[in-house]
């Protein structure tokens, strides 16, 4: 039997060798630029990868329908894992990628970014928000807010509107995004003299049950709870709080966008929730995108991730058109041209207008906050 196993394994090996080496690069076509993306398309974080992928596909379809410079787009699964992310990136390179529009989550971004710097491939992450990502090199750009900046502006907003007496914080200790926001918030809150009375956390491994953390905030008498994490966990916190009759002001950041569209979630629990988000699916100027997204994703309402993905494709496309990059430009040359372009030009899209990037690739855009009233986003302040 051993022989048979060995034989079969060997056969599989040959097959995969062929699959790995056989893909030769097709000749570059001047009219088509190649944009690659990686994100978690399977596993626990797949929801973010899928949203970004769909947003990007919508942008690609729109652009290709316009005529002129076309885009060939490919997305690869990185399972929200640094090791797989690098494999995905290499796979895209073999395909002939000129621009890397990823990764979606922070850990894969940090794994890929140094390689992208070495290769001098232009990388713009739609949603990897750690400040460490753009700091890796000056060809690494960001579309979303940088965490500490967003945390700080959250604290400023709280102080300005006098929203809180006793502040509680629950954060995800295993998540760079959550910790970045929390640190930014705490530092600014200390400056502004805000009173933080309870600070508790969870990690990816024990986030199934958040009742302990909610109870801790309740016991500490918090009338305001800062929740710097994603919509899924937020829906748990809100449900848990409602169960034990705890009603402070909950405050979230851009990752919480999408809380209203979680299937099966009782929207009334989110009434009064304040969150900072650059993208408002209820605003008139986003309706075209929302309906296209819904058509593509079985009626789901897009969140900030999808909008960021959409914007990244347009930002790269606009820059390519303006700087004269086409399908035959070598990735490294294209990278230099785009860097020069973004140094002086601004971009307006779904997630804000007049966005600019500094020489590190860090974005500056105006933060906006909304409060949920009657199941809709209403601009705050």
Partner 1 sequence: MKKLLNNKNTRSNLVIYLVVTVFFLVMQGMNMGGMLTSSWKGFLVPICVYISLAVSLNLLVGICGELSLGHAGFMGIGAFAGIVVAALLQDAVALEPLRLFIAMIVGGVLAGAAGFLIGIPVLRLRGDYLAIVTLAFGEILKNIVGNLYVGLDAEGVHVSATSAKFTLLEGGKMILDGPVGATGIKKLATFPMGFVLVLITLFVVLNLVNSKEGRAIKAVRDNRIAAESVGINVTAFRMKAFVVSAFLAGMAGALFGLNYSSMAASKFNFNTSINILVFVVLGGMGNILGSVISATVLYVLPEALRSLEDYRMILYAVVLILVMLFTWSPRVKEFVSVVTDKISGIFKKKEVETNG
Partner 2 sequence: MQILQYLINGISIGAVYAIIALGYTMVYGIAKMLNFAHGDIIMVGAYISFCVTNYLGLPAFVSVIAAMAVCTLLGILIEKLAYMPLRGTPSLAVLITAIGVSYFLQNGAQLIWGSAPKNFASIVPLKPVFLAGGELVITGEVIVTILASVLIMVGLTLFTTKTKIGKAMRAVSEDRAAAQLMGISVNNTISMTFAIGSALAAIAGVLLCSTVPTLQPTTGAMPGIRAFTAAVFGGIGSIPGAMLGGILLGIIETFSKAFISTQFSDAIVFSVLIIILLVKPAGLLGKQIQEKV
Identify which of residues 39 and 128 has a Cβ nearer to partner 2 in the complex: 39
The only residue of 32, 93, 137, 318 in contact with partner 1, by rule CB under 8 A: 93
Q: Is the Cβ–Cβ distance between 365 and 354 less than 8 Å?
A: yes
The only residue of 106, 125, 127, 236 in contact with partner 2, by rule CB under 8 A: 236
Alpha-carbon torsion 124, 127, 131, 136, what sign?
negative
Task: 186-191: list long-range contacts, CB under 8 Å, 24+ apart.
Answer: 186/151, 186/155, 187/148, 187/151, 187/152, 188/151, 188/152, 188/154, 188/155, 188/156, 189/155, 189/158, 189/159, 191/155
Tokens coding 198: 């309870």
Per-residue contact flags (x/-) with partner 2 for residues 213 to 232, judged by CB under 8 A:
x-xx--x------------x
In the complex, least distance from residue 264 CB atom to partner 2, rounded to whole angstroms: 4
Nearest to 230 by CA among 37, 36, 40, 38: 40
The only residue of 205, 264, 285, 374 in contact with partner 1, by rule CB under 8 A: 205
CA–CA separation, 90 vs 54, rounded Å?
Answer: 22
Query: CB neighbours (10 Å) of residue 197?
Result: 16
The only residue of 29, 83, 191, 266 in contact with partner 1, by rule CB under 8 A: 83
Identify which of residues 49 and 278 has a Cβ nearer to partner 1 in the complex: 49
In the complex, least distance from residue 290 CB atom to partner 1, rounded to whole angstroms: 24
What's the length of the chain?
381
Per-residue contact flags (x/-) with partner 1 for residues 147 to 176, judged by CB under 8 A:
--------------------------xxxx
Nearest to 323 by CA among 122, 135, 137: 122
Tokens coding 14: 């040959």
Does residue 90 bind partner 1 (CB under 8 A)? yes
Q: Which of residues 76-95 bind partner 2 (CB under 8 A)?
A: none
Q: Is the Cβ–Cβ distance between 254 and 150 less than 8 Å?
A: yes
Residue 80 Ramachandran class (φ > 0 left, ψ -120 to 50 alpha, else beta): left
Query: What distances in angstroms separate CA 299 from CA 47, 63, 264, 291, 295, one per listed residue?
Result: 15, 23, 14, 8, 6
The only residue of 57, 70, 179, 188 in contact with partner 1, by rule CB under 8 A: 179
Q: Which of residues 237-296 bind partner 2 (CB under 8 A)?
A: 239, 243-245, 262-266
Residue 114 binding target from partner 1, partner 2, none, CB below 5 to 8 Å by type = partner 1
In the complex, least distance from residue 279 CB atom to partner 1, rounded to whole angstroms: 26
Does residue 378 bind partner 1 (CB under 8 A)? no
CA–CA separation, 145 vs 102, rounded Å?
Answer: 15
Q: Is the peptide bond before 103 cis (omega within 30 degrees of 0)?
A: yes
In the complex, least distance from residue 315 CB atom to partner 1, rounded to whole angstroms: 25
Does residue 107 bind partner 1 (CB under 8 A)? yes
The only residue of 12, 161, 192, 378 in contact with partner 1, by rule CB under 8 A: 12
Q: How far is CA 368 from the centre of its chain?
A: 17
Q: Which of residues 22-41 bind partner 1 (CB under 8 A)?
A: 23, 41
Does residue 113 bind partner 1 (CB under 8 A)? yes
* Crossing angle for the helix pair 46-66 and 287-296, to the nearest 10 degrees: 110
Q: List interacting residues with partner 1 (CB under 8 A).
A: 1-6, 8-10, 12-13, 15-17, 19-21, 23, 41-42, 76-77, 81-83, 86-88, 90-91, 93-94, 107, 110-111, 113-115, 132, 136, 173-176, 179, 203-205
Q: List interacting residues with partner 2 (CB under 8 A).
A: 41-44, 46-47, 49-50, 173, 200-203, 205-206, 208-213, 215-216, 219, 232-233, 235-236, 239, 243-245, 262-266, 298, 300
């Amino acid at each position: 039997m051993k022989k048979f196993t060995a034989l079969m394994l060997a056969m599989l090996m040959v097959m995969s060798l062929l699959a790995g080496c056989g893909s030769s690069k097709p000749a570059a076509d001047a009219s088509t630029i190649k944009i690659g993306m990686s994100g978690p398309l399977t596993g626990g974080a797949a929801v973010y990868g899928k949203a970004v992928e769909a947003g990007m596909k919508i942008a690609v379809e729109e652009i290709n329908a316009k005529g002129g410079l076309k885009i060939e787009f490919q997305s690869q699964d990185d399972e929200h894992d640094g090791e797989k992310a690098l494999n995905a990136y290499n796979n895209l390179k073999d395909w002939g990628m000129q621009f890397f529009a990823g990764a979606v989550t922070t850990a894969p971004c940090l794994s890929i970014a140094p390689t992208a710097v070495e290769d001098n491939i232009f990388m713009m992450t739609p949603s990897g928000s750690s400040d460490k990502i753009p700091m890796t090199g000056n060809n690494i750009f960001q579309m979303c807010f940088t965490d500490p900046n967003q945390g700080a502006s959250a604290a400023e907003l709280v102080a300005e509107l006098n929203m809180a007496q006793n502040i509680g914080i629950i954060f995800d200790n295993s998540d760079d995004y959550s910790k970045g926001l929390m640190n930014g918030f705490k530092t600014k809150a200390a400056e502004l003299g805000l009173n933080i009375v309870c600070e508790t956390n969870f990690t990816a491994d024990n986030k199934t049950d958040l009742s302990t953390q909610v109870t801790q905030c309740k016991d500490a008498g918090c009338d305001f709870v800062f929740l710097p994490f994603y919509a899924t966990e937020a829906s748990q916190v809100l449900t848990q709080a409602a169960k034990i009759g705890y009603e402070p002001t909950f405050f979230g950041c851009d990752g919480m966008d999408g809380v209203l569209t979680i299937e099966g979630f009782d929207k009334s629990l989110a009434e009064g929730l304040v969150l900072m988000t650059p993208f408002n699916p209820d605003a008139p100027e986003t309706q075209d995108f929302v309906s296209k997204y819904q058509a593509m994703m079985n009626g789901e309402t897009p969140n900030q991730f999808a909008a960021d993905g959409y914007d990244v494709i347009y930002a790269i496309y606009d820059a390519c058109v303006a700087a004269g990059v086409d399908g035959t430009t070598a990735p490294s040359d294209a990278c230099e041209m785009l860097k020069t372009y973004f140094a002086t030009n601004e971009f307006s899209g779904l997630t804000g207008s007049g966005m600019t990037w500094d020489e590190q690739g860090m974005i500056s855009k105006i933060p906006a906050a909304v409060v949920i009233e009657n199941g809709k986003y209403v601009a705050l302040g």
